[in-house]
Structure 1
């Protein structure tokens, strides 16, 4: 496993920054190991909803989970507001960093993650491709 650690700064878009980082580092099978920080705006799609909701308030990032690849990301986030109320859902564009976000990503050389339309769900779903290396006979 290879590990990447970096910090996002104020006014950066969390999802776009992760997508850009994956592209720059050519991450083919990545996953979030840990992530904390704060947002000054959250854009989240809740379960079984067609559209995301924009929440224009300050939030702590409690958790960020999911997969990252050059072919796409699928991430869920849990945040808490100024009263400690916790909500979460599908991370969307428009989660804007307030002060900072500390991100640690792990990667696997054993797999490639692809995002392709699943005929059953109609969504781009994770396709896990093993990377078989040729070993001498």
Structure 2
């Protein structure tokens, strides 16, 4: 997978910029391999809740990971405040860079595509990995019906 290093600067919306990079460059998708820096605002959604928590402070971005497609992003961030308190969750729009954000993306190969599709088992839009058919149109693998104890790995043929 080709690697794409990025640096964002003060005032940039971290999630929005990542989504715009994928769209503007017409990339098939990417995974955030590494993300560090600082934020003035972190918009985080914690597990099991739909409410977004706005944290306004001088924050260190300790880690950022996730996947980005042209239709959405699933990003997890860990931040620490000036007292060393650590918070983490789903990164939402409105998370603003304080001084810098240094990021490394692993770009999905051109013959593959990432997207999100509703998963009845989880109730959420989940990652689906597809490939580009000879026609040039994306073809997505679909998860087979869920069976108790079954493990399924989405792969590209």
TM-score (structure 2 length as normaliser): 0.80
Which has the bigger relative contact order, CA under 8 A and spacing at least 6? 1
- 1:87 corresponds to which residue? 87
Which residues of 2 match residues 30-109 of structure 1 at below 5 A? 30-109=30-109
Unaligned runs of 5+ in 2: 135-157
Q: How does 1:17-36 map to 2 (within 5 A)?
A: 17-36=17-36
Q: Which runs of 5+ in 1 are unaligned?
A: none
Q: Which residue of 2 aligns with 1:127?
A: 128
Larger Rg: 2
SS of equivalent to 2:34: strand
Shift of 1:29: 2.8
How does the TM-score come out when normalised to structure 1? 0.90
- Report deviation, 1:51: 1.3
Runs of 4+ aligned structure 1 residues displaced above 6 Å come to none
User: Deviation string for 1:34-80 (max 9, x for gaps)?
Assistant: 11100001110011011111011111001001101112110000011
Q: Distance in 1 between matches of 2:107 and 2:122?
A: 27
User: 5 Å matches for 1:4-15?
Assistant: 4-15=4-15
The separation in 2 between residues aligned to 1:115 and 1:75, in whole angstroms, is: 13
Query: How many residues are aligned here?
Result: 134
